[in-house]
Amino acid sequence: MRKILEQLGDRVEGTVSPGACAFIAKQTEFGAMRSDTLEEREARVRLYGTIFAADGTLAESGSAPPVRGRTNIEGNLRTLLGAFPTFRFTPVKIVVSGETVFYEAANEAVIRGELVRYPAVYRVVLKDGEVTQGRRYHDRTEWFRPIEKDALRYLGRLSEAMTDVRLKPDQAAAGPHTRFQEYRGTVRAKGRTIDFGMIVRTGQGTIRRYFDTLPLNYDDAETAALFTELLTGAARPAR
C-alpha cells in the first residue's frame, strides 16, 4: 500500500495512517480504471464498494440526499458509469488529518460525444480503513454542457444566486502547503431551502472553491428533467 505514497510524492500531505493509505490506493486505482464494457464496469463497481463501510454514506455537495449503505452506493455508481462509461480521474492534491482525507482530483468524461473536464474534491471520514461518510464536491452543472449547449446556466455572482446562507465549518485538513476547509449547512436558492456544502482550498497563494452550482441554477423539477435526459440518452450499449 505504501507504494502509492511513493508514486504520488508531494501530492500527498499530512500524516498518512494505514487506513488512509488504503483509501488513497483504492481511490486512485478506481479513478484510473476503464469501464467500456459491462464486465469492466462491474469490476469497477466492486472495487468502489470495498472503499465503503457496509453502512457508509455518500453525498453530493449540493441538495441531493445522501446515498446510504454499500449496496446503494454501488448502485449509484453503476448508474453513473452507465451514463459516463469513460469517467475517470487523476489525483491532484491529497491532504490527510487523522481519519479525514481530502482527495482533490481532475475529472473527465465523454458525454454525448464531447469531452467534459471538471475538478472535484472527495472528502471522506474513515473508520478501520473504510469510509463511513463520503462527500463529493464538484459542479454537476458541467455534466449537462453537451445537453444544454448555449442554454446552460452559469452563476454570475454567487451572492446573488443564494440567500439566507447558513454555512458552518465542518471537516478540515492541513499540510505543510495546503489546507482544505469544508463548510456545511443550508442556503435558499430557486425558491427553496436546500442542504448545501462548499470546500475552500488554500495554499501557495491560491484559493479554490468547490461547490455545486446545479441546485443554485435549476429548481428540483428542472434538475430531474435534466437527469432523465442525461441518463436515458448518454449511455453507450455494453460490448
Q: Which whole number is the average pLDDT over 157-184? A: 92
Q: Supply the pLDDT for residue 233.
A: 67
Strands of the sheet containing 163-174, edge to edge, are 163-174, 179-189, 192-203, 206-210
Residue 75's pLDDT band (boundaries 50, 70, 90)? very high
Q: Which whole number is the average pLDDT over 177-198? A: 95
Residue of 54, 45, 107, 34 whose CA lies nearest to 78:
45
Q: Supply the pLDDT for residue 1.
A: 63
Residue 234's pLDDT band (boundaries 50, 70, 90)? very low
Residue 235's pLDDT band (boundaries 50, 70, 90)? very low
Please give the model's pTM, rounded to 2 decimal places.
Answer: 0.93
The neighbour count for residue 88, using CB atoms within 10 Å, is 18
Distance in angstroms (rounded) separating the CA atoms of residues 197 and 54: 24
pLDDT at 181 over 60: yes
pLDDT at 213 over 90: yes
Beta strands in 76-205 (DSSP E): 88-97, 100-111, 114-127, 130-138, 163-174, 179-189, 192-203
Write the CB contacts of 151 (distance below 8 Å, at least 6 apart in sequence).
Answer: none
The neighbour count for residue 108, using CB atoms within 10 Å, is 16
